[in-house]
Each structure stands twice: as structure tokens, then as C-alpha cells.
Structure 1
Amino acid sequence: MPKIDPRVDEYIEESEDFARPILEHLRSLVHQACPDVSETLKWSMPAFEYKGILCGMASFKAHCAFMFWKQSLIESDAFPKEKTAMGSFGKINSLKDLPSDKVIISLIHKAMELNEKGIKVERKAKPKAEIVVPDILAGELKKNKKAAATFEKFPPSCKREYIEWITDAKTDATREKRLATTIEWLMEGKRRNWKYEKKR
């Protein structure tokens, strides 16, 4: 028995007229290629799972998209060299824009194999910019151990909020005022936007 999700039925029914036959066809091919696949919704779009996310599809006002979760690990001439939209096959406006059923089924089998082997896509984390404490703040923190201790315990995002607030000041007078407030709040263990934080 195919594992059908009624939410996918609703998604297809609510799609544009041109999109319905495309989505139904793609859905049928996924089930044909992978009888053990399960349907679900991911990011409000139909997705197919088999030992992890396998592939997904989406419809928009003027085109559809079909995407393999691990496309970067699948070699195929079926994938357009230049991406024109989200998805593995670019913008799909009709069934004619899709590769042959045989090709799509072959790609689904390759995606299944990757999941069966537990092969993951390496996500390269972007190196975070180093936090540079301006001299004006560094000098004041040296004079105040309590404020410095609070500042050191803060995550990078909280440190940046204080640094940007001070360095973005338009005049020296404003900068000095913000610096004094920063030290005062740090002594109280407060973050830059403490006024807007929900009370627990």
C-alpha cells in the first residue's frame, strides 16, 4: 500500500490548473520508483521520504519545481547547467519540460541509494567574521572587571549588538553616552536589547 498523505492531495488540488497534471505525474513516478516511500509536507511543500528526505515538489503561479535533496551528489545530464529556478529541473511549465520517465526513475533510484548508504551532503559552514572590539570599548572594559566578565560571557551576536551600537554613533557625544550606558548595562548583566526581551 502506498503511503499517501492527504495533505499532498489538498496541495495538488489547490495548485494552478497547469500544475496539477505535472505534480500528479511526478508523484506517481516517485511511488513507482520507490514503493516504500512516505509522503509528507516540508516547508509547506510535498516531500517524499525514504530513509531520510528523498525529493520534493512545489507549484507556483507560473511554474512547478521538483528537487532532489542530495542533487549535488547525483551526476546527471538531466539537470540544467544554469539554474533558472528552485529545483533540479529548472522551471517546469508542462510535462514536456521534464526528462523522460525512465531518466526520472533512474535519478530517484540514485537518490534512494544515497539514503540507503547514509551518505550525507556536506554543508559548508560560513566562517563567522571575527569580533573586533573597538579601542574605546576595550579601554572601558579593562577598567571595569564586572562589565568585562559579562561581555565575555555573551554570545557573539550580543557582543556585536553593543559594538555596532557604539560604532554607529554619528557624534562623539553620542558615542560617549552610548559607551557609558553600555558599561552600566553590562554591570547589570543586561544585553543591548534587554528592554525588548520577554520576561520569563
Structure 2
Amino acid sequence: MAKKKPTTIDEYINTFPKEIQGELQEIRQTIRKAIPEAKEEMKWGRPAFVDERILVVFGGFKKHIGFYSTPSSLEEFAEELKDFKTGSGSVQFPYEKPLPTELVVNITKYRAWESREKNVNWKS
């Protein structure tokens, strides 16, 4: 029988080992602090924060948390992200290092601002 895909962020987080669940809850609460007005939804099988459009997404992996935003929002924080593995719209935060909560808040707030003020869509 096929595994049921999680339909909520809580279900998603609960599919991970306990030690990873804490890390995923930490990034979830950090994002929530930055954009309390956003709704939590599942997009592409991962937790997402949405306010008219997708703002940020995160996901758990074996050795890191994947954090997904727009390329432009990550470019804005390129200097602060230099110690992390990044892609055009993604960052890997390894579990063995403390989550850079202030950086996550700043990127998330920037993403919300660029969505509202500059009309930047997801993955623009």
C-alpha cells in the first residue's frame, strides 16, 4: 500500500525522526515570526507560507533543511549566505550547525516585501 502524502505541515514534520522534527519546527516558527499574516499550506509536497502567492517553502532532508525563496531574495543576502550551499532559489541549512534564525527572518521579510511592493512572483 502506498504511503499517504502529508496534507498539513504537522503531518509533514511528523514523518521525520524526532531530532529532525525539532529542527523543522524551529524554521517553521522562525518563518511564522517573520510573516505572521501568511497562511501555511503544502506546495509540491513541502511546507509553504503563502500570502496571495507563495513566499517561502522549506523541506527536510537527511542532512539539511532546504529553504526555498526567489533568486532575487537570495541574491539580496548573498554575502550572509556565503557559508551555505545555495542554488538559484534555494539554501541548505545543515542540521549540525545552528539555524541562522535572524537570516531566515530577514530573507523571509524581504521576500514578503518584494512580493507586495515589487510584484515579484515565485521563482522570478
- TM-score, normalization: structure 2? 0.76
**Secondary structure class of the residue paired with 1:78:** coil
Runs of 4+ in 1 over 4 A off after TM superposition: 84-87
Q: Counterparts of 1:23 and 1:103 in 2: how far apart (Å)?
A: 16
Cα pair 1:47 1:57 within 8 Å, conserved:
yes
Q: What's 1:73 paired with?
A: 72
Q: Which amino acid aligns with 1:9?
A: D
- 1:81-108 CA-partner distances (Å, limit 9, x unpaired): 7736797332422451x32x22221111
Q: What's 1:29 paired with?
A: 30
Q: Counterparts of 2:19 and 2:87 in 1: how far apart (Å)?
A: 17
* Structure with higher helix content: 1
Q: 1:40 Cα deviation (Å)?
A: 0.8
Q: Counterparts of 1:29 and 1:38 in 2: how far apart (Å)?
A: 14
**Secondary structure class of the residue paired with 1:36:** coil
Q: What's 2:102 paired with?
A: 102
Q: Which amino acid aligns with 1:36?
A: E
Structure 1: segments with no counterpart, 5+ residues: 1-5, 124-200
Question: RMSD in angstroms over aligned alpha carbons?
Answer: 2.6
Q: What's 1:12 paired with?
A: 13
Q: 1:35 Cα deviation (Å)?
A: 1.1
**Secondary structure class of the residue paired with 1:80:** coil
**Secondary structure class of the residue paired with 1:61:** coil
Q: Once the two structures are aligned, what percentage of the paired residues are identical?
A: 24
The number of aligned residues is 114
Q: Which amino acid aligns with 1:31?
A: R
* Structure with higher strand content: 2
Q: Counterparts of 1:119 and 1:78 in 2: how far apart (Å)?
A: 22
Q: Work out which of the two has the higher radius of gyration on C-alpha atoms and give 1 or 2.
A: 1
- TM-score, normalization: structure 1? 0.49
